[in-house]
Structure 1
Amino acid sequence: MPMNRPATTALAAVLCLLTAACGGSSDDDRTDRTDGTSTTTTAGSKSGYPVTLDNCGQSATFEKEPGRVVVMNGASVAEVSTLLALGLQDRIVANQQSYGMSEVAGRAAAIKALPTGDIKVNEAYDIPREAMLGLRPDLVLSVTTYGFDQKNGFATREQLKQVGANSYVSPQGCDDDPSKMTVADSYQLLRDMGKVFNAGDKAEKLIAASEKNIAAVSEKVEKAEKVKGKKMPKVMVLFSNMAMGGNDFSSVFAHGIANDILDRAGGSNAFENASKSTFADLSKEKVAATDVDALVVISYNAPDPAAYAKKLFKEFPQWPAAKNNTYVTLSDSMYLGPSNDLAVEKIAKMLHPEVF
């Protein structure tokens, strides 16, 4: 998928609010976030409503379960994947998100089958204001505040409220700084959607299963690290065939959720010090001068990410990764969303096969 500046901004921005408790009680349940915002759940009737979320400085109250949900693109799949994981696909009237593949069996096909609203998207591959209002949504999901910016031709959160639609910005999307994102943000997105759709129990079960899987992997990784003397393989994480800056390698992760996933899998980011932001914009010389023990290639609608990995190995044969053919291709599990445990497991098996 060709990526221009607006689309790459949305991609680099990404998803999720830090951990808050789930479910209702007779009292308000409030969790303060590290970025200064908070999530508030107000318990009401036995149905679980009304529910109020404080999201990026705005309050949204849900009197009932949303039935007409629009998922904006934002170069994300976190929001649509979260809804699918919670079994809420029938609430979606228009979805613009897709990575073209998924680590979860059947998910890519399920996303492809969702309605798009027959929208003519704008230059950012997203839904312009008039088209959005014409969809008559009662909830609009955006990965960042960019998706509600009037300057970008989008419906603002206030304009949506005027037509009876609530809006939600995913965690770390308030200040457009995904460099702080962790796996906990993926859990927060699940919890928030669980509250909004009265599916808190299912959200907690998904989170518990993910945490259990990651804990089992981490236990094996600790054994491997003891054997290897705590050496953490250096991993390069980047999108397949994607340009986001001016250099040869501009879609290389330096910070964000990728680093949290690598750490849990027993690895470290080879380019963590190359940038203070989420992505590093690197020259070929910088990449060549860095020892890369393993490669993680993320597919964003790329037909053959494995071919891209092999292309890099031919270009940089001096890498330990190239000499040992050490790579894995991933897609939605490596980014914000409900399946980070799969990325942790797959990367750990690549880095420490002897303990699996």
Structure 2
Amino acid sequence: MPMNRPAAAALAASLCLLTAACGSSSDDAASDKTAETAASRTGYPVTLDNCGVKETFEKAPSRVVVMNGASVAEVSTLLALGLDDRIVANEQSYGRSEVPGRAAAIKKLPTGNVKLNDAYDIPREAMLGLRPDLVLSTTSYGFDQKNGFATRDQLEEVGANTYVSPQGCRQDTSEMTIADSYQLLRDMGKVFGVGDKAEKLIAASEKNIAAVTEKVKEKKKPKVMVLFSNMSMGGNDFSSVVAKGIYNDILARAGGSNAFENASKTSFADLSKEKVAATDVDALVVIGYNDPNPAAYARKLLKEFPQWPAAKNNTYVTLSDSMYLGPSNDVAVQKIAEMLHPDAL
């Protein structure tokens, strides 16, 4: 007959009293030493302070759920670290990538057959039904009960750790930099016990970016317009124009500057056509988010604003995941630098 946990604990205590084999200080010391040795060997437990919440991992997660968050940062990071087999449900996709094979690899990942909510993300009951042991969210929005999501406390109750990506705690990514991409890589390296691989990826990216930046450092910094193709986020004609965030860090490393950096205090500016027309734009960076032909959108803009230097010189590049938080920012730096300063590269 199976015993409940209190009964089993009581029986164990009784046996210890009768046999005198369970309580010696030497055995306790040996047990502690064994535990310390095992922890040292495996690297666990791992504790992260994430948005003011301490998350402790006793072992590498094996049932990971990646929330949408209009991002590919988290799923791309897991793929870069070779952790695709740990994902039981992924809702992130840009439909394309600068990294060969990544878009196809993301497409092959399981989705958990979840019916998404109006925010195109995983509602509470569906999330709990996936039985995750780690849930990744781009911002704290993904754990907000008001929006119908499972909270971090609710997920902890079912044995799931949670993680909000860098700069996502306040749901404000306007101060994000490339360093945050490295932090995401580093944190996932620790969580999954692949820290060495994470550090190698970071070192390679830093080396690539430094090499490009050195070549363009004496060059004039053209004014660049960065925006998402065929996407509306506000009430004006141009509501997906980037103002601040990691995009500006990438532009600076590539020898450029954001033409609309002062147009908003947040990550995105909501601009009228008149404001856009009155601004000198030397080059375009169009980010394709599930858009099969962002180049067509770029050419349309150049035709619409023929007075831009960018239009006169046909200067544009289309990017996707490398321009966002994630493991491939060095690719964006390289491609933008090649567009802005072809003579230097």
TM-score (normalizing by structure 2): 0.89
Match of 1:191 in 2: 186
Q: Aligned letter for 2:190?
A: K
More helix by share: 2
Task: Work out the CA distance in 1 between the residues paired with 2:266 and 2:74.
Answer: 23
Match of 1:333 in 2: 322
Q: Aligned letter for 1:45?
A: S
Match of 1:33 in 2: none
Task: Work out the CA distance in 2 between the residues paired with 1:202 and 1:88.
Answer: 11
Does residue 272 (structure 1) correspond to residue 261 (structure 2)? The answer is yes
Match of 1:154 in 2: 149
Q: Aligned letter for 2:158?
A: V
CA shift for structure 1 position 242: 0.4
Larger Rg: 2
Match of 1:262 in 2: 251
| TM-superposition CA deviations, 1:179-198 (whole Å, max 9, x none) | 00000000000000000000
Does residue 308 (structure 1) correspond to residue 297 (structure 2)? The answer is yes
Q: Which runs of 4+ in 1 moved over 4 A?
A: none
Does residue 81 (structure 1) correspond to residue 76 (structure 2)? The answer is yes
Match of 2:109 in 1: 114
CA shift for structure 1 position 45: 2.7
Contact 1:49 1:64 in 2 (8 A): yes
Match of 1:13 in 2: none
Secondary structure at the counterpart of residue 353 of structure 1: coil
Task: Work out the CA distance in 2 between the residues paired with 1:122 and 1:131.
Answer: 10
| TM-superposition CA deviations, 1:54-97 (whole Å, max 9, x none) | 10111110000100000000000000000000000000000000
Task: Work out the CA distance in 1 between the residues paired with 2:344 and 2:154.
Answer: 54
| TM-superposition CA deviations, 1:265-286 (whole Å, max 9, x none) | 0000000111111000000000
Contact 1:44 1:51 in 2 (8 A): no
How do residues 42-61 of structure 1 correspond to structure 2 at under 5 angstroms?
A: 44-61=39-56
Aligned pair partner of 1:178 in 156, 173, 176: 173
Contact 1:261 1:340 in 2 (8 A): yes
Task: Work out the CA distance in 1 between the residues paired with 2:125 and 2:239.
Answer: 34
Does residue 134 (structure 1) correspond to residue 123 (structure 2)? The answer is no
Aligned pair partner of 1:95 in 80, 86, 90: 90
Task: Work out the CA distance in 2 between the residues paired with 1:273 and 1:52.
Answer: 39
Match of 1:30 in 2: none
Contact 1:179 1:256 in 2 (8 A): yes
Match of 2:341 in 1: 352
CA shift for structure 1 position 176: 1.1
Task: Work out the CA distance in 2 between the residues paired with 1:263 and 1:129.
Answer: 40
Task: Work out the CA distance in 2 between the residues paired with 1:315 and 1:111.
Answer: 34
Match of 2:11 in 1: none
CA shift for structure 1 position 355: 1.3
Contact 1:55 1:168 in 2 (8 A): yes
Does residue 166 (structure 1) correspond to residue 161 (structure 2)? The answer is yes
Match of 2:282 in 1: 293
CA shift for structure 1 position 222: 2.0
Match of 1:202 in 2: 197
CA shift for structure 1 position 342: 0.2
| TM-superposition CA deviations, 1:121-156 (whole Å, max 9, x none) | 000000000000000000000000000000100000
Question: Which stretches in structure 1 are left out of the alignment for 5+ residues?
Answer: 1-42, 226-230
Task: Work out the CA distance in 1 between the residues paired with 2:344 and 2:58.
Answer: 50
Secondary structure at the counterpart of residue 132 of structure 1: helix
Aligned pair partner of 1:144 in 120, 129, 139: 139
Question: Which stretches in structure 2 are left out of the alignment for 5+ residues?
Answer: 1-37
Secondary structure at the counterpart of residue 329 of structure 1: strand
Task: Work out the CA distance in 2 between the residues paired with 1:170 and 1:44.
Answer: 26
Match of 1:71 in 2: 66
Match of 1:250 in 2: 239
TM-score (normalizing by structure 1): 0.86
Secondary structure at the counterpart of residue 41 of structure 2: coil
Q: Aligned letter for 2:144?
A: D
Q: Aligned letter for 1:294?
A: A
Residue-pair matches, total: 308
Match of 1:26 in 2: none
What percentage of residue pairs aligned between the two structures are identical? Answer: 83
Q: Aligned letter for 1:86?
A: L
CA shift for structure 1 position 177: 1.3
> Relative CO higher for 1 or 2, CA cutoff 8 Å, sep ≥ 6?
1
Aligned pair partner of 1:235 in 216, 221, 224: 224
Contact 1:71 1:140 in 2 (8 A): yes
Task: Compute the RMSD of aligned alpha carbons.
Answer: 0.8
Task: Work out the CA distance in 2 between the residues paired with 1:88 and 1:125.
Answer: 24
Secondary structure at the counterpart of residue 206 of structure 2: helix
